[in-house]
Structure 1
Amino acid sequence: MSVKRHNPQPLNQTRLEELALAYVARFATTQGKLRDYLQRKLRERGWDDGGRDGDVPDLDALIARYCELGYVNDASWARMKAGSLLRRGYGARRVGEALGHAGLDEDLRADVRPDEAAERQAALVLARRRRLGPFSVRETDRALREKHIAAMLRAGHRLDVARAIIDAASAEDAEAWVEEAGDD
């Protein structure tokens, strides 16, 4: 049984670095997420650096040092996250939103933005997994088709991609449409 401290001691530079190191050791993270974590810990516990008035921690220096050491790498995290979301069937818009939420700048998000073939493949994965369009077990009427397209749009796919997958006559036709983008 863990004992929760009701009045945790304020942080000092050593303890702040220990918290940051434990965080990056446990989680693949970005500079923005590490900064948010450290700021939250400072809000929760306060700051005490030996009684020096006005002395606040330099989070930017700490984060920069961890980047130099390779503990935090925004570009590799962005590639990992984008690949993971695409394999789960999410579209380019949702990938961009997730990367933006993690504090990554627009240039880095543009570098990992999926190409046409990857977008189509992700849409196919989602349709298979959720049994949308030609993968549906029910006969698709107009209302169900609209629900399927809405699900694709919520997952971050473009309307033209969603329509192409949902309106495919068969699963083989949907797969062939996806493979067309890979042949280009």
Structure 2
Amino acid sequence: MDIERFIADCIAANEETDAQAAVNEVLARAVSTPGAVLAALGEPDKAGLNVLLSSPTLTIFSATWTPQMNLMPHNHRMWANIGIYTGREDNIFWKRTSQGIKASGANALFVKDTVMLPEDAVHSVTNPLQRFTGGIHIYGGDFFDTRRSQWNPETLEEEPSDGAKIREVFQRENERLGLHKKA
């Protein structure tokens, strides 16, 4: 996998009429050869976000999850495509109701799988495995400079979130496992 070519292909696809679907095609091609992605990005050994591109119109990063890592319900406020190149990612989807959020579905992503999340999606993420998971995440906007929401995993109360708060979650996970590398 040529990372620079992948990024260029995603940027070009993001100019298409149905940008999310076009970008997902590029992502699906990439994760269809997971060994090539692993060779390009490396075997995951900590929780982290390896940012490949951050712009006002597109953010691309490799997210790596520690064994049995959980991320509370959260939204993105932009479309998102996720493709798994090692491990597994389980998603619970949530719907807003007059009483808050309620679980409304689930999806398990295995190696080579992709998913397209709409702009209004709320989901929580779990790596159910006893090994690391790696996925490429692509967002139709500036993921790190967008104010979003997350929900307390116990009370499901809505709280503010942004890229810095998500990075803190990954850092705490590394500390929990005694992996003191920067996330």
Q: TM-score of the superposition, structure 2-length normalised?
A: 0.28
Q: Which has the larger radius of gyration?
A: 1
Relative contact order, higher structure (CA 8 A, sep 6+): 2
Q: TM-score of the superposition, structure 1-length normalised?
A: 0.28
Higher helix proportion: 1
Higher strand proportion: 2
